[in-house]
Chains A and B, each alone.
Chain A
């Protein structure tokens, strides 16, 4: 009985990180209508960014999230001008393909630099013991960092002038232009923020599990599941959907073989997409 309790608590902690990974995807999709297929590559870059910084500086891995966030923002802006600027507002196929093209390039370069063998960040915070179970400090710290970043995004979107501009462009780009908002600048910053969050979640995941350059793809797919559960344009709702997914994984892990979990997740994904296209937490039409 307490086995499932531990498994659920673990799912809750990991779910926070899943949620953070999905927030960037959800923000970009909701505001600019672009499904960002560079998301997985950005997560992978975050993993390797943290790995490289940690192995050269050897300070607390969670402090290194700050330079990683800044680098992710810059990378997002580069990708925006390379691949996204020309295809915003065009058919879905165009933005899917141009972001996927950048994804291929990043993965190609990453594979050349680091091959596809696994890496891990050798950093461990002391854990907390709860009866017979010990929760590693990294899981707890990563979950806290994810919640802080999600909260910061919420404050930015709802309590700053620029956040209001982002929400205005998401609602109606033309109307926002007429009110004097430079929508290109808003979209660029949105893409930067979304990428920064993806990169940061990659950094957090790197402190939890071993990773390869291809690992980002797995978390990108999971981010799709979370985004669809949360509903579009609800970035912070994605945190709760991520926790839901983590809890679901925690709840089924003790009972079935791990290899069946993707079938459950993607089955759920397709069913929710067809039956609740606005997401489980979405507003009604």
Chain B
């Protein structure tokens, strides 16, 4: 049972702490820092479902976040939906979109799949840049009136924060639940040797499409929340290939395949990036440092930080997985 896992209670505890911490003294700066880290963790753990669990490299993962943001912003501003229903609708719509594309491109393996996701990312970006209802290249903006039903901008931002923390909690629990299920076992089998898995009766096509679509849901919900909070979205920012790759870096930094690893890597990378961006002497070298870090991890420590930690403290694995 998932409730017997220590990691389940760790996730609940950390989420509660994150929700309460900025309330203490109404600390908006802390809230903004935490929300960025929470989003990084959401993106990295959901991507881990595809790359770490199933072994399929998805370079288009930012589509989920960006498309969710577009649908959410469109529904709240143009259609006047409530934030929560709009975010859920965005999640469902993006999952469905991903399922359809997944059925088409998941027959490709390895590098070919990775390239197809880059192609889809660029095609979606080009489409949205030309799509008139979504404001073409200029994007969408939130008008202030949208915040009124939620009790003004202040309250709306706090609501978005609590919802993001809820999505953060759900992302970690989803990863944990899948890891401890028959579904998860099938995914691991596909990752290790897809042909052997198929021979043993694993319906790879069905499982791959399902995990692809599932890994899109929570990032899309988070996208709807975050872009609602920031108040604007444009195609260049929403569908940036570099962001996709940064999420992969986070996951690799912590350790692919491990929930704790992906989460830890995301939180650390986000802190590091914040530090590099604000440091006056290093801000130009942000890419150089992140690149150097990635190069070292890939070549010398493919297990990431968590792999190193587990070798050091063998008991930690039972606590965190």
Write out, one digit per residue, whether chain A residues 121-141 have a CB within 8 A of any chain B CB (1) or not (0): 000000000000000000000
Quick check: B57 and A92 within 8 Å, CB to CB?
yes
Answer whether residue B243 sits at the interface, using C-beta atoms and an 8 A cutoff.
Answer: no
Cβ contacts under 8 Å, A269 to chain B? 119, 123
Quick check: B286 and A108 within 8 Å, CB to CB?
yes
- CB contact under 8 A between A104 and B111, given known A86-B299, A221-B118, A262-B122: no
Chain B: residues with Cβ within 8 Å of the partner, total of: 44
* Partner pick for B291 among A102, A111, A221, A270, CB 8 A cutoff: A102
Quick check: B123 and A267 within 8 Å, CB to CB?
yes
Quick check: B130 and A270 within 8 Å, CB to CB?
no
Assembly CA distance A146 to B245 (angstroms): 32
Cβ contacts under 8 Å, A259 to chain B? 126, 129-130, 137
Quick check: B284 and A111 within 8 Å, CB to CB?
yes
Chain A at the B interface: SS class? helix
Answer whether residue A188 sits at the interface, using C-beta atoms and an 8 A cutoff.
Answer: no
Quick check: A257 and B116 within 8 Å, CB to CB?
no
With both beta carbons as reference points, the residue of chain A lying nearest to B249 in the complex is identified as A97
Cβ contacts under 8 Å, B288 to chain A? 104-105, 108-109
Cβ contacts under 8 Å, B286 to chain A? 108
In chain B, residues 121-170, which have Cβ atoms closer than 8 Å to a Cβ of chain A?
122-123, 125-127, 129-130, 137
Cβ contacts under 8 Å, B125 to chain A? 262
In chain B, residues 282-297, which have Cβ atoms closer than 8 Å to a Cβ of chain A?
284-295
With both beta carbons as reference points, the residue of chain A lying nearest to B105 in the complex is identified as A274
Among the interface residues A101, A107, A225, which one has the most CB atoms of the partner chain B within 10 A?
A: A101
How many Å from the CB of A150 to the closest CB on chain B? 23
- CB contact under 8 A between A98 and B295, given known A263-B123, A263-B127: yes
Chain A: residues with Cβ within 8 Å of the partner, total of: 42
- CB contact under 8 A between A270 and B126, given known A87-B299, A96-B111: no
Answer whether residue A100 sits at the interface, using C-beta atoms and an 8 A cutoff.
Answer: yes
- CB contact under 8 A between A92 and B119, given known A112-B285, A257-B130, A259-B137: no
Quick check: B116 and A107 within 8 Å, CB to CB?
no
Quick check: A104 and B290 within 8 Å, CB to CB?
yes
Answer whether residue B114 sits at the interface, using C-beta atoms and an 8 A cutoff.
Answer: yes
With both beta carbons as reference points, the residue of chain B lying nearest to A263 in the complex is identified as B126
Cβ contacts under 8 Å, B116 to chain A? 270, 273-274
Answer whether residue A266 sits at the interface, using C-beta atoms and an 8 A cutoff.
Answer: yes
Answer whether residue B185 sits at the interface, using C-beta atoms and an 8 A cutoff.
Answer: no
Cβ contacts under 8 Å, A221 to chain B? 118, 122
Number of A-B contacts defined by CB within 8 Å: 120
Cβ contacts under 8 Å, A262 to chain B? 122-123, 125-126
Assembly CA distance A273 to B120 (angstroms): 11
Cβ contacts under 8 Å, B122 to chain A? 221, 262, 266
Quick check: A108 and B119 within 8 Å, CB to CB?
no
How many Å from the CB of A267 to the closest CB on chain B? 5
* Partner pick for A91 among B105, B110, B130, CB 8 A cutoff: B110
Quick check: B298 and A224 within 8 Å, CB to CB?
no
Write out, one digit per residue, whether chain B residues 82-122 have a CB within 8 A of any chain A CB (1) or not (0): 00000000000000000000001101101110111011101
Cβ contacts under 8 Å, A35 to chain B? 111, 114-115
Answer whether residue B307 sits at the interface, using C-beta atoms and an 8 A cutoff.
Answer: no
With both beta carbons as reference points, the residue of chain A lying nearest to B293 in the complex is identified as A101
Cβ contacts under 8 Å, A207 to chain B? none
Assembly CA distance A107 to B288 (angstroms): 8
Write out, one digit per residue, whether chain A residues 249-275 have a CB within 8 A of any chain B CB (1) or not (0): 000000001011111001101100110
Answer whether residue B252 sits at the interface, using C-beta atoms and an 8 A cutoff.
Answer: yes
With both beta carbons as reference points, the residue of chain B lying nearest to A106 in the complex is identified as B291
Answer whether residue A157 sits at the interface, using C-beta atoms and an 8 A cutoff.
Answer: no
Assembly CA distance A87 to B297 (angstroms): 12
Assembly CA distance A1 to B47 (angstroms): 50
Assembly CA distance A225 to B107 (angstroms): 19
- CB contact under 8 A between A108 and B123, given known A35-B114, A102-B291, A103-B291: no
Cβ contacts under 8 Å, B287 to chain A? 104-105, 107-108, 111
- CB contact under 8 A between A94 and B126, given known A108-B286, A270-B119, A274-B105: no
In chain B, residues 276-321, which have Cβ atoms closer than 8 Å to a Cβ of chain A?
284-295, 298-299, 302
How many Å from the CB of B87 to the closest CB on chain A? 27
Quick check: B114 and A92 within 8 Å, CB to CB?
yes
Assembly CA distance A262 to B121 (angstroms): 11
Assembly CA distance A258 to B119 (angstroms): 18
Quick check: B292 and A101 within 8 Å, CB to CB?
yes
| Cβ contacts A to B, 21 pairs, < 8 Å | A86-B299, A91-B110, A93-B248, A94-B302, A97-B298, A98-B295, A101-B292, A102-B295, A103-B291, A104-B291, A104-B294, A108-B287, A111-B287, A257-B130, A259-B130, A261-B126, A262-B125, A263-B123, A267-B123, A273-B108, A277-B112
Given contacts A266-B123, A269-B119, 14 further A-B contacts (CB under 8 A): A83-B295, A94-B298, A97-B294, A98-B295, A100-B245, A101-B294, A101-B298, A108-B285, A217-B241, A262-B122, A262-B123, A267-B123, A274-B116, A277-B112
Residues of B participating in the A interface, judged by any CB pair closer than 8 Å: 51, 55, 57, 104-105, 107-108, 110-112, 114-116, 118-120, 122-123, 125-127, 129-130, 137, 241, 245, 248-249, 252, 284-295, 298-299, 302
Residues of A participating in the B interface, judged by any CB pair closer than 8 Å: 33, 35, 82-83, 86-87, 91-94, 96-98, 100-105, 107-109, 111-112, 217, 221, 224-225, 228, 257, 259-263, 266-267, 269-270, 273-274, 277
